[in-house]
């Protein structure tokens, strides 16, 4: 909105040209999302408490979460509102990638909202297969758009269905129609990975913050001809506006962390977790950096693997590898305090962020 508004007046007042720069709009998009989240936070928390929208703690984790029952959930609404308001204000409306990613946020957030609401009113959420099918539909729409309609190539080559690997500048195998199910797997997997990680105060939102910051940088560099040419990475001019959206997501995550840090005043619920994961997965697909998501989102990947390993081990050997899965609960049962687990996971997330950004040069 601001871009279109001030573009008309820039010829009369030169300083308004600053609104043309992605870096400027990304920075203020992050600040705007942070401020919006901080402002609406007390109202949302108060309103949810009044509606008695409190977290129901599963019986098997009550020994480590017995003091969390009744804490307001569905706080993902704060993240979604902050993200969308900031994106509307600072991103360009004529960029379809922004609309596709915003659609992903709303779609997955909507699924999470329905799931949260059903848990609160019926004591059980959406049935597993119903939720997966709904997620797959949203992921298919994003993946098919990238495959059939997006045109990120600048040299006549087709990159829509190509798979780009870090460390290799010319290794880009074309998946053809297989790109659609692959991209769907990335998006749905990302959404559910964030959801599994959301088990301790500030854990999921803190890890999301690092991933969103990484893609803020990646989207901008990918859209910049000189940077992408120098680093020998794919040049996608339209991806630049996604850095504004990712910066807004970073700001919204910081704002939510203000209220979600231990002891949490509010939980994001599936409303927030699925929305965050859906956005991150969609951005990874739309910027052609799907593999990098597995690196920078290593915490999310580890949480999913811990569940898979636990289930397979118990079903095949009758033994558990971890005291409890996802494995952030394992460390709690080992005697680590909640804050220690979360902060150490954040440290790992920060290291993964730096390692991921280093891959842009190591080609």
The C-alpha atoms of residue 279 and residue 283 are separated, in whole angstroms, by 6
Please state the rounded mean pLDDT for residues 156-163.
70
Q: Are 171 and 152 in contact (CB under 8 A)?
A: no
Q: Which of 298, 295, 347 is nearest to 327 (CA)?
A: 298
Q: Supply the pLDDT for residue 149.
A: 79
Query: Among 58-62, 132-136, 223-227, 289-293, which stretch is predicted with the lowest mean pLDDT?
Result: 58-62
Tens of pLDDT, residue by residue over 313-336, are: 999 998 899 899 899 999 999 999
Q: Which of 120, 124, 142 is nearest to 55 (CA)?
A: 120
Tens of pLDDT, residue by residue over 64-100, are: 555 676 789 899 999 999 999 999 999 988 899 999 9
The C-alpha atoms of residue 279 and residue 281 are separated, in whole angstroms, by 5
Tens of pLDDT, residue by residue over 105-145, are: 999 999 999 999 988 888 777 888 899 999 999 999 999 99
Name the token pair of 35.
């401020």
Q: Supply the pLDDT for residue 235.
A: 86
Burial class (CB in 10 A: 0-12, 13-18, 19+), 216: buried
Please state the rounded mean pLDDT for residues 163-192.
90
Please state the φ and ψ torsions of residue 52, each to the nearest 5 degrees. Answer: 60, 40
pTM of the model: 0.91
Tens of pLDDT, residue by residue over 7-25, are: 666 666 667 677 788 999 9
Torsion of CA 271, 78, 295, 344, to 10 degrees: -110
């Amino acid at each position: 909105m601001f871009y279109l508004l001030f573009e008309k007046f820039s010829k009369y007042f030169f300083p308004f040209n600053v609104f043309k720069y992605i870096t400027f709009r990304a920075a203020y998009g992050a600040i705007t999302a942070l401020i919006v989240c901080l402002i609406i936070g007390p109202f949302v928390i108060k309103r949810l408490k009044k509606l008695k929208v409190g977290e129901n703690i599963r019986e098997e984790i009550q020994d480590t979460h017995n003091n969390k029952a009744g804490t307001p959930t569905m706080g993902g609404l704060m993240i979604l509102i902050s993200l969308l308001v900031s994106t509307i204000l600072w991103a360009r409306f004529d960029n379809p990638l922004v609309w596709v990613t915003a659609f992903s946020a709303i779609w997955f957030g909507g699924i999470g909202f329905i799931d949260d609401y059903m848990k609160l009113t019926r004591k059980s959420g959406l049935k597993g297969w119903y939720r997966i099918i709904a997620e797959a539909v949203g992921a298919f729409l994003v993946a098919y758009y990238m495959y059939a309609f997006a045109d990120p190539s600048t040299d006549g080559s087709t990159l829509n269905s190509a798979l780009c690997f870090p460390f290799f500048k010319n290794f880009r195998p074309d998946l053809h129609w297989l790109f659609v199910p692959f991209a769907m797997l990335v998006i749905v997997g990302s959404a559910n990975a964030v959801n599994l990680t959301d088990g301790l105060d500030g854990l999921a939102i803190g890890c999301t913050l690092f991933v969103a910051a990484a893609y803020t940088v990646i989207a901008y560099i990918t859209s910049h001809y000189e940077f992408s040419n120098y680093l020998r990475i794919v040049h996608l001019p339209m991806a630049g506006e996604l850095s504004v959206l990712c910066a807004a997501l970073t700001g919204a995550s910081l704002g939510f962390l203000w209220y979600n840090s231990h002891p949490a005043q509010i939980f994001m619920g599936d409303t927030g977790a699925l929305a965050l994961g859906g956005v991150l997965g969609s951005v990874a697909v739309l910027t052609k950096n799907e593999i990098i998501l597995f690196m920078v989102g290593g915490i999310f990947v580890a949480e999913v693997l811990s569940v898979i390993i636990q289930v397979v081990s118990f079903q095949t050997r009758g033994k558990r590898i971890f005291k409890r899965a996802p494995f952030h609960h394992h460390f709690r049962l080992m005697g680590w305090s909640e804050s220690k687990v979360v902060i150490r996971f954040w440290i790992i997330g920060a290291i993964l962020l730096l390692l991921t950004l280093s891959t842009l040069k190591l080609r």
